Structure 1
Amino acid sequence: MQFFDVDVLDVPRGRVSIRRLVVLVARLLRMPGRSALAEAMHPANAWTATDYLTAELIDRMELANWLTLRVNSEESRRIDPPERFPRPGVEPAEPETEFASAAEVHSFLQQLTG
């Protein structure tokens, strides 16, 4: 624990108490900035607030470009909306399930009934 100039091996040697070590680890998790321990415990801690704001800005710009293309394009139905910029600790969403149209359901039921 380089921030506090404490060696974890000092605990079994009797130089540092377990309580002191727990207090230092808790303090380390609350410290601003990046920490390997904080990132290992919560992958979202790999990014700073600036990184998250930059990703949000990228998402907003992509959305604005998509809206502009959709409004000004003749083939607006074929343009897929942009995906979110990947963030640490956030799993990508599964694609939405497509449901059959009323006509498809009607033809399927007619095939079943003969």
Structure 2
Amino acid sequence: MIDEAIDQAVVIRKSDTKMQSENNDSFRSYCYYTNNPIRDFELFKVEMEPHASKESDGHSPKTQEYILVVRGELTLRVNAQEYVLKEGDSIYFDCTSPHSFTNNQETLLEFTDIIYYS
């Protein structure tokens, strides 16, 4: 099981992850690591189809989100600010307030997303 204490390396295949999808499968997230008593973060791989968007109501108090764009261009809106992130760009922010993700491009957007619970 991937959420237990380990004494050796653990490989997680994409096919082993739990996929969550929204907006008619235009926003797909794959959870590789869940938070638990020995891990205070979650790690996701996210795929967004062209012109897709996703709204988040925000997460629990004292939570931060860390994003790294792997492919494409992400428009992130948080706290009345808009950030455009291109391949290789990263951002972290207090994700307790509402925020949104948008792919305004004609190509698939892929990014990693870590949600840290402090």
Q: Report the TM-score, using the length of structure 2 for normalisation.
A: 0.22
Ranked by relative contact order (alpha carbons within 8 Å, sequence separation 6 or more), the top structure is 2
TM-score normalized by structure 1? 0.22
Higher strand residue share = 2
More helix by share: 1
